[in-house]
Structure 1
Amino acid sequence: MPLPPGKRRKGGSVGSDTTKLQLQRTQAKRRKVDGKAADATRKQQNRHVFAGFAQRIKNINATITNNYEYLDNTIPDETNLRTSYLLQECRRWRLENKTADFDAALRELLPLVRTMPHILHHLGKICSIFDKHLRKEKSLALEPLLGMLPVLARDTRGELMPYFVDTIFGTLVWLLETRLDDPDAMEWIFQSMG
């Protein structure tokens, strides 16, 4: 309600009220600008950015890397035959993946992968174990098992080819067909093929 001429409000003149209002508006604008700047820096600091399914598929890294440091060109001796890279990989994944699915696969694999002669002798059984556990529906052991396939190939080199063609390749193709909605699984499959 407007005041009659000559009357004042408590707390100051009419001019001081408009100045306070202008000051409040200016401060509000500054807060908005500062808020946008703060949001921009907060967005830059966030490490996780939501990506839709199409974006995740687009970002699949399917490059093939060959780790030559594992290929030992020395003459095999007794120390090289005592262990295998597959056994080391099993131990590494045992610490990282504590799921029941992976534990079941590991219980079957560990007695067969103790040494290189064991691996070469039981290669058919090892491949069938991989096949069986990779074909499990909704298995939580998919990432470690797919990660161990290249290590198995590294240990056995050319000896794996007949088993790869007969069992493992078919399983990988089946996984690709059934896991089309899971970009992480697709990436693991492509990396294991590399």
Structure 2
Amino acid sequence: MTNSSQPVHPSDFIPESWVMETMIIGNGGLVIRHEFDEPSELAIPALTHHLIGVNIGQHSTRQVTRLGKQEYDGINPTGSLWLATADNTPGEWAWDTTDETIMFQIDPLYFQEIAAENGCANSERLELKPVVFDRNPQFESIARNYHAEMQQQGLGGKLYSESLGNLFMLNLLRTYCQERPQPQQVNGGLGEKRLKLVL
């Protein structure tokens, strides 16, 4: 349990013994870990990075998650997820069985960079919303694909992992922003009809 009032890095409160494999994308902007999280209770004042946990275990367990004023106390079925944001939101978790999890750690600056690269207006102001419980087939699929890649490390693994990372980040932008991202308005340049003619 962490008692500091300062935001903490995820690696400071997740025991190394829980981590089976790790993948690093975008120079550390996105870190994916395969974990076996032993029964425990964790409490943090705030996080330095966004953190998403996706349960890939084969059985439902009880999960208690508190993020700010939100709380979930119930089963933690395969494919369920929570999202803790990098802000001043305190978080608490408790569970009584060993959970197999794919954990996604996102640097907030990397999140803004990806948003800008994909044409989001005001990318530096985009904020994610805390989620104590959700079921999302896209995120479950990406988590399972990362898990499989960590096990087999097939041909073109780096490219494949980076492609999955881009897919993950785009789904994050589309699904869990406080406000729907808006495309940047482009002034000048060729109109659509002229561009088609040139092409």
- TM-score, length basis structure 1: 0.23
**Where is the strand percentage greater, Structure 1 or Structure 2?**
2
Structure showing greater radius of gyration is 1
- TM-score, length basis structure 2: 0.23
**Where is the helix percentage greater, Structure 1 or Structure 2?**
1
